Amino acid sequence: MAETATPAETVNVDRVRAARRSPAEHLADAFAAGSVPGAVTLKEIPYQTQVGVRVDRTSDAGTRVASVTGGLPAACGEVVSSDSASTVWLGPTEFLVVAPEGSHDSLGGSLVGDLTAALGSDSGQVVDLSANRTTFELSGSRARAVLEKSCALDLHPRVLKAGTALSTEIGHIPVVLWKVDEETFKIFPRASFADYLGRWLLDSMREYASPEVP
pLDDT in tens, 124-168: 999 999 999 999 999 999 999 999 999 999 999 999 999 999 999
Report the C-alpha gap between 167 and 194 in whole angstroms. 16
The answer to whether the predicted template modeling score (pTM) of the entire model surpasses 0.85 is yes
Domain limits at 160? 24-46+134-207
| Cβ contact 22:134 at 8 Å | yes
| CA-wise closest residue to 179 among 149, 141, 138 | 138
Number of domains in the chain: 2
> Among 100, 131, 162, where does a domain finish?
131
| CA-wise closest residue to 209 among 44, 33, 43, 42 | 33
Edge-to-edge strand ranges of the sheet holding 184-189:
41-44, 136-139, 184-189, 173-181, 164-170
Same domain for 54 and 124, yes or no, is yes
Same domain for 103 and 127, yes or no, is yes
Same domain for 89 and 194, yes or no, is no
Give the CATH number for residue 74: 3.30.70.1520
Residue 30 lies in a domain: yes
Residue 124 lies in a domain: yes
What is the distance of C-alpha 53 from the center of its chain? 14
Residue 202 lies in a domain: yes
Same domain for 71 and 114, yes or no, is yes
Instruction: Identify the band that residue 212 occupies on the pLDDT scale cut at 50, 70 and 90.
Output: low
